[in-house]
Chain A
Amino acid sequence: RKEVEQDPGPFNVPEGATVAFNCTYSNSASQSFFWYRQDCRKEPKLLMSVYSSGNEDGRFTAQLNRASQYISLLIRDSKLSDSATYLCGLTGGGNKLTFGTGTQLKVEL
């Protein structure tokens, strides 16, 4: 099983739709979890951290399921500007952030 796995997509959704991505991880000792956003040919940027109790930031909701070893990202009321690749990131014991392959989202009119 890969360290971090994501469905590469693309997810094509109409504007206003709700879309969810999952990310599974293999190391049960993984400590911290994050969602990053990467626009085409640009650098990754932190979207939000993922807390054990789940957390929300506007239209974005992140959840962590340690028992099943996955994290999720829910985007409500999708906007054209949400089109990007969403990277799952996690840390283990060291000072290293490991990314998944990313899930591509395309929001269409």
Chain B
Amino acid sequence: EPEVTQTPSHQVTQMGQEVILRCVPISNHLYFYWYRQILGQKVEFLVSFYNNEISEKSEIFDDQFSVERPDGSNFTLKIRSTKLEDSAMYFCASSESRVTNTGELFFGEGSRLTVL
């Protein structure tokens, strides 16, 4: 069964360091997303991406965050200068069509980021 894969599964970093989280979406999917979940809190939308452009982003997704699809398979989330409050599980997701149509996002298993 096709799946979304994420690396690394866990990353520990020092405050102020740059972090890149990587995702390989399902191959025929066109829409890509990043969500985060701080421990014990809700799954929060960060950004959606389509046709090599950000289609929507949340207030959380400030100038410290960026996304890129550097090649035909990877979708990355970069945090330029990490803060303690960036510690969370980051989920990548993809969908075949707009989420409004089917609602089915396929999530990866997540990358846990710990900022010290």
Contacts and interface: CB of A to CB of B under 8 A. Distances in A.
A91 B31 CA distance: 15
Contact of A43 (B44, B55, B109): B109
B43 A44 contact: yes
Interface in B1-60: 31, 33, 41-45, 48, 50, 55-56, 58
A51 to B, nearest CB: 11
Given A31-B100, A32-B100, A44-B91, A96 B107 contact: no
B45 A96 contact: yes
Interface residues of A, number: 25
Contacts of B104: 46
Contacts of B58: 96
| Residue from the set A42, A96, A101 with the largest chain B CB neighbour count within 10 Å | A96
Contacts of B91: 43-44
Interface of A: 31-34, 38, 41-46, 49, 87, 89, 91, 93-102
Given A43-B109, A44-B107, A96-B56, 13 more contacts: A32-B99, A33-B103, A42-B109, A44-B43, A87-B42, A89-B103, A94-B55, A95-B98, A96-B99, A97-B33, A97-B45, A97-B105, A99-B42
